[in-house]
Amino acid sequence: MKIEGRCVVSIEYELTEAGKSDTIDSNKGGAPLEFITGSGQIIPGLEKELMNLSTGEKADIKVNAVDAYGEFNKEAIETLPREQFAGIEMIKDMQLYGEGENGESVAVTVKEFTDDTVTVDYNHPLAGQDLMFSIDVLSVREATIEEIATGHIGGESHNGDGSCGTSGGCGCKG
């Protein structure tokens, strides 16, 4: 089945920085990565390049930084008073999670610290890096109406028989 429209896609991948050989992340030999196309669940550059692949296809896909985790932003580095981190044992490059101004979850990386200050980086750890994905498309199927509405994969389909219930389907082509 070809990836088109709103589909549930299952892939196996290995991720490296473009032009380098060290693996950054991989799910080979583990659980597949499943996502619903068009839901913003994977980086946009990867999703765009996956479109029109089919079950069983393999591909090496380069995703430029701007279409992955964005360019590195020097203004996303901030030095804060150490007392804001009371009770936390600081380790260089550790990830900390907090709450943003609007209640959203925010992740930062500790870049350096002193007795008085902590310098944190709000950039994603892969910001500014062109990425290379080695992909194996394991399966593709139409997303159900419920999956499209909720963004969650699995559970009962809208009409109970595994189809999405729309005449003509959801846009996935066999």
Q: In which band, very low, low, confident or very high, does the pLDDT at 4 lie, cut at 50, 70 and 90?
A: confident
Closest Cα to residue 7, out of 147, 158, 166? 147
Model pTM? 0.77
Which domains does the chain possess? 7-68+130-150 (3.10.50.40), 74-121 (2.40.10.330)
As a whole number of angstroms, the distance between CA 167 and CA 87 comes to 58
Q: In which band, very low, low, confident or very high, does the pLDDT at 146 lie, cut at 50, 70 and 90?
A: very high
Average pLDDT, the chain: 88
SS3 169: coil
Q: What is the dihedral of CA 45, 49, 55, 57, to 10 degrees?
A: -120
pLDDT at 144: 95
Q: What is the mean pLDDT of residues 75-92?
A: 95
Of 9-23, 106-120, 148-162, the poorest mean pLDDT is in 148-162
CB atoms within 10 A of CB 20: 11
